[in-house]
């Protein structure tokens, strides 16, 4: 086979579909979170940035959805291989997570493209489909992990957070929808509370396993260095959940919760959860810096793990700023937004280069 023919095969749509990584939707997550991250800013650039990234995330979602979906029907053996992989399989829930983040964008900017009521209706169904997808993916992946006979301590990384801890994103949108659609309170509030319990406790269980690996085993290979940033997300999301609960309990009476009693406690929980996330952010910078100085940090699709967790930290910082009114927290928020936009641009450019060269479609396992 000639080199030209090999290149043509490598760049064919069939080969791209066959080798399409389940981690691609992390790019949608990292893009769709930007409008939410900048929503606390009073800068003049906010509407432009929010609109641009909202549109781009929708475009990316559609472009990625095509090969991602076709792979299930045309190359089921490749899907099975991904699901059985102790690392790649964890990234399948990024697709339904993306749906919920886009639903949050619609609720945050309801009149950007549609009428307010239309945006809320679309957001509700995106949340519902995304929630079902998160649970389905979670069960499928965890069963594969439980049955896997070759998983070792060296496979553990913070990408393992995604299937179990992704449940925490459900109440972020669910509690807001509960206030918008009180007639669906049993579904929105009930599913959100269940998901908060599942996500919180699995965060503790999985976190302990992965933390154990980082202490008693060598660091993961360089292309998984960015996954350390994923450790920022759970407590950042928990901070946002408490903020959503403050807003919800201030609107409606649920389970006899007294908002006057709950709100001060929730504010303390927000500050404590945000505090862990900001600590983990700086810890992540130290770890990634170590990779850069002592090892290497080659580009990989996992670099998108730099973006969404940073965006979650920005949102949590905005929430902590709003409930505390601390100037120091506002500085952290501004720095976080600057870092998010800078790292997103870097990762996006490197991803485009990988797409053009075709290197990003080379199978990694």
Q: What is the pLDDT of residues 119-137, one digit of tens each?
A: 999 999 999 999 999 999 9
Give the pLDDT band of residue 5 (cuts 50, 70, 90): very low
* pLDDT on residue 150: 75
pLDDT class for 7, splitting at 50, 70, 90?
Answer: very low
Domain ranges of the chain: 3-361
Distance of CA 297 to the CA centre of its chain: 21
Reported residue count of the chain is 365
- Per-residue pLDDT reduced to its tens digit, 293-343: 988 888 989 999 999 999 999 999 999 999 999 999 999 999 999 999 999
Q: What is the mean pLDDT of residues 130-149?
A: 88
In the predicted model, what is the mean pLDDT of the chain? 91
CA dihedral 70, 73, 79, 80 (to 10 degrees): 180
What is the CATH number that goes with domain 3-361?
1.50.10.150
Query: CA–CA distance from 318 to each of 4, 155, 239 (Å)?
Result: 52, 34, 10
Angle at 94 (CA atoms; ends 54, 76), nearest 5 degrees:
125
For the chain, the distance separating the N- and C-terminal CA atoms, rounded to the nearest angstrom, is 23
Question: How confident is residue 9, by pLDDT bands cut at 50, 70 and 90?
Answer: very low
pTM: 0.93
Q: Band the pLDDT of 10: cuts 50, 70, 90.
A: low
Q: What is the pLDDT of residues 350-363, one digit of tens each?
A: 999 999 888 888 87
What tokens does 79 get? Answer: 């899907």
- Cα 57 to Cα 229: distance, rounded to the nearest angstrom: 21
């Amino acid at each position: 086979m000639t080199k030209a023919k090999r290149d043509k095969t490598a760049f064919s749509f069939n080969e791209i579909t066959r080798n399409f990584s389940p981690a691609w939707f992390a790019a949608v997550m990292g893009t769709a979170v930007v409008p939410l991250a900048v929503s606390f800013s009073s800068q003049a650039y906010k509407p432009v940035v929010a609109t641009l990234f909202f549109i781009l995330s929708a475009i990316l979602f559609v472009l990625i959805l095509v090969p991602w979906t076709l792979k299930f029907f045309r190359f089921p053996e490749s899907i099975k291989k991904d699901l059985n992989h102790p690392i790649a399989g964890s990234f399948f829930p990024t697709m339904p997570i993306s749906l919920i983040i886009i639903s949050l964008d619609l609720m945050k900017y309801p009149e950007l493209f549609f009428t307010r009521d239309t945006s809320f209706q679309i957001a509700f169904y995106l949340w519902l489909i995304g929630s079902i997808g998160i649970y389905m993916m979670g069960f499928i992946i965890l069963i594969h992990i439980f049955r896997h006979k070759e998983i070792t301590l060296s496979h553990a990384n913070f990408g393992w957070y995604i299937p179990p801890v992704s449940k925490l994103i459900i109440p972020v949108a669910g509690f807001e929808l509960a206030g918008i659609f009180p007639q669906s309170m049993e579904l929105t509030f009930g599913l959100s509370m269940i998901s908060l319990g599942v996500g919180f406790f699995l965060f503790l269980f999985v976190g302990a396993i992965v933390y154990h690996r980082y202490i008693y085993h060598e660091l993961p290979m360089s292309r998984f260095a960015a996954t350390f940033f994923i450790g920022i997300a759970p407590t950042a999301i928990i901070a946002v959940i408490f903020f959503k609960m403050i807003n919800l309990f201030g609107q409606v009476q649920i389970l006899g919760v007294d908002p006057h009693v709950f709100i001060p406690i929730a504010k303390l929980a927000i500050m404590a959860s945000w505090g862990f996330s900001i600590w983990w952010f700086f810890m992540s910078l130290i770890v990634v810096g170590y990779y850069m100085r002592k090892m290497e940090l080659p580009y990989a699709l996992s670099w998108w793990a730099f973006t969404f967790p940073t965006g979650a930290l920005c949102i949590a910082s905005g929430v902590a700023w709003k409930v505390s009114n601390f100037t120091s927290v506002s500085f952290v928020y501004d720095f976080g937004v600057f870092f998010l936009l800078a790292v997103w641009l870097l990762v996006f450019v490197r991803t485009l280069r990988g797409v053009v060269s075709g290197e990003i479609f080379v199978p990694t396992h």
